[in-house]
Amino acid sequence: MITLIAALAIVSGSHAPLAVVNPRVAVATPLVAVVPPRVAVSPALEAAWMNVAVCENGGRNVDGSVYSGMLGISLANWYAYGGTQYASTPYQATFDEQIAVAMRIQAGAPIPDQSFCAAW
């Protein structure tokens, strides 16, 4: 019996982890990484949420310990509304991914009106 604990394949200079399908045959196949779905937000929707971002963090992507990203999403909400399917924190996610999570938080409510940076 052949036992294969772990293996790496070098493909074009990169290291790809391998999984053993059948240890008796000792044939290794590449593991497939789970990639989160790509989020595409319309330019109009992105512009509306950019108003929120400008009010929340001056339009900057902030790596905060409680509130993070361009939209100032709390880490608790990021976890609760599925943000980790994109990245560990809002700061590490794209703006479109942050918008997707913010829309879940809003649960279909309109985009917060940020006239004069009012609280929402």
Please tell me the predicted confidence (pLDDT) of residue 118.
57
Q: Is residue 38 part of a domain?
A: no
CATH number of the domain residue 62 falls in: 1.10.530.10
pLDDT of 24-75, one tens digit each? 655 555 555 555 567 788 899 899 899 899 988 899 999 988 999 999 999 9
User: Among residues 103, 68, 61, 60, which one has the least CA distance to residue 88?
Assistant: 68
Percent of the chain with pLDDT over 70: 63
Q: Which domain holds residue 7?
A: 1-33
80 within a domain of the structure (yes/no): yes
Q: Do both 4 and 52 map to the same domain?
A: no
The two beta strands, 67-68 and 73-74, are antiparallel
56 plus 108 within the same structural domain: yes
Whether 25 and 75 map to the same domain: the answer is no
State pTM to two decimals. 0.65
